[in-house]
Amino acid sequence: MSELIDLTAAQAAERIRAGEISANELFEAYRERAAADELNAFTWVAESAPQDAGNGHGVALAGVPVAVKDLFCTEGVPSQSGSKILEGYRPPYTATVVAKLHDAGAPLLGKTNQDEFAMGSSNENSAFGPVLNPWDRGRVPGGSSGGSAAAVAAGLAPWALGTDTGGSIRQPASLCGIVGFKPTYGACSRYGMIAFASSLDQAGPLTRDVTDAALILRHTVGHDRLDSTSLQYPHEIELPMAEDLTGIRLGVPEDLTGAEGGIEPGVRESFDATLKLAERLGASIEPCRLPHAPHALSAYYLIAPAEASANLARFDGVRYGLRVDGDKDLVTMYSSTREAGFGPEVKRRIMLGTYALSSGYYDAYYGTAQKVRTKISEDFTAAFERFDFIVTPTSPCTAFSLGAKTADPLAMYLNDFLAVPMSLAGIPAISIPSGLSDGLPVGFQLAGPAFSESRLLDAAYALERAIGFDGSPARA
Ligand code: GLN
């Protein structure tokens, strides 16, 4: 059994194809582990392998099951986005990316815990309780895709889907010692994803290694007529093969990695060591400027709450999930439902967003934030004229103790200082584990221009092999 759990998804698929193990056996091994989950990583686990998963032959992903973040609507299965307001909601349809994975031969293993409506960096904002980090159960797994990250790191799932609005795939991947990839905005359909901030939300993989991330991307990207912001991906995502980084120019943005970023010494050490390794693999490394990037968090915390306040207006006790009735009028029903159904962070964001969009303030807040967003995007465009990729640590810190930042929203928001600029620019970025600091994983982030997924995967793959990170302690 332990042997099965140590395989990457691609390796497990290989074994199934070779007839050494069956898809059902693999599903059952993971199902048992997921059902016995002590990390609170799952909100729902499948009772059995779906009939149509077959024996895994003749389908690209060979029957290797996938865990998906709670906010992906899945027909007949609880899909609650970590919120009490959607408790018990079972949608009548399935998110496109989940359906695509299913069709490619990756059946649904379970739904994973997350921060409520994907708002958070620690998974402590879930209505279904916090998720524990498998490297140290007194610590957070990161967020908001914390359940997906913890499940993959702990070997409770071969691989998982998460979403990233401002770091929620990359940061938990970093804190849990796995790979996380946020694709180019529009590369994957958002249809069936319970929305947080629609101009930022993207689905993407959380995996054991870079090859697995490439496989999930290959089978999830592409235009979907049900999401008008989704794009025709220009080519097939290739599986990474690069042996080295010859000729690759890496830019290190001083504006993010300087004192303002609050990067912990252990994280910086691992980052510097990875840069040295990259140099030995043939990359050139130079400092670069992204002058507006330090303002990304401020812009994000106007744009994301503004969009969230509009997206979350639909949860009114009429259409979905919870209703707190009382014997008064309709407006009282709306407000008692929202009062009881939303947690404190969601309420904070709705208030921020509503305020920012209110008449007379729109230009001062939302309008200004949009201008900053354009500037950030232009900074990246200029940087990519000189560099192939921009690199930073993924998160300024390693996994912190449960409760350490819950009383201080600003400290919590700073976790995404290095991740949010890429989200605002809509560009792809990957986090790979670069080593340990005091026994906790550190993440290394590479970001590239729109649609550079295959090249990013190649570079990350070469680095991954040179780093040789061992994730097995988290599965023990
Ligand atoms: N931590 C950020 C937030 O709370 C990002 C969340 C996300 O990417 N979904 O908004």
Q: Give the model confidence (pLDDT) of 306-329 as tens digits.
A: 999 999 999 999 988 899 987 789
Q: Helix 265-280 to helix 453-467 angle, to the nearest 10 degrees? A: 100
Atom number, ligand 1, closest to the C-alpha of residue 301: 10
Query: So which residues are the catalytic ones?
Result: 69, 144, 168
Which residues approach ligand 1 with their CB closer than 6 A? Answer: 118-121, 144, 164-168, 196, 304, 416
Helix (H, G, I), strand (E, B) or coil at 35: helix
**Residue 2's pLDDT band (cuts 50, 70, 90):** low
**Residue 51's pLDDT band (cuts 50, 70, 90):** low
Give the Å distance between the CA of 413 and the centre of ligand 1. 8
Give the Å distance between the CA of 9 and the centre of ligand 1. 27
- Per the listing, tokens 């002058």 go with 291
**Residue 226's pLDDT band (cuts 50, 70, 90):** very high
The residue to mutate among 145, 416, 420, having the most atoms of ligand 1 within 8 angstroms of its beta carbon, is 416
Q: What does pTM read for this prediction? A: 0.97
Atom number, ligand 1, closest to the C-alpha of residue 143: 1
The share of the chain scoring above pLDDT 90, in percent, equals: 92
What mean pLDDT do residues 375-382 have? 98
**Residue 1's pLDDT band (cuts 50, 70, 90):** low
β-sheet bridge partners, residue 391 = 446
pLDDT tens digits for 359-372?
Answer: 889 889 999 999 99
pLDDT tens digits for 243-283?
Answer: 999 999 999 999 999 988 899 999 999 999 999 999 999 99
Q: What is the pLDDT of residue 343?
A: 98
Atom number, ligand 1, closest to the C-alpha of residue 196: 9
**Residue 287's pLDDT band (cuts 50, 70, 90):** very high
Q: Which DSSP string do the residues of 380-436 spell out, in sequence order?
A: HHHHHHH-SEEEEESSSS-PPBTTSSTT-HHHHHGGGTTTHHHHHHT--EEEEEEEE
Give the Å distance between the CA of 227 and the centre of ligand 1. 22
pLDDT tens digits for 122-178?
Answer: 999 999 999 999 999 999 999 999 999 999 999 999 999 999 999 999 999 999 999
CA distances from 387 to 123, 189, 255, 283, 467 (A): 34, 29, 16, 11, 22
Domains and CATH numbers, the chain: 2-248+426-475 (3.90.1300.10)
pLDDT tens digits for 21-39?
Answer: 999 999 999 999 999 999 9
Give the Å distance between the CA of 330 and the centre of ligand 1. 32
β-sheet bridge partners, residue 431 = 180, 445
Atom number, ligand 1, closest to the C-alpha of residue 163: 9
Helix, strand, coil in percent for the chain, rounding step 5: 40, 15, 45
* Residue ID of nearest Cα to ligand 1 atom 5: 166
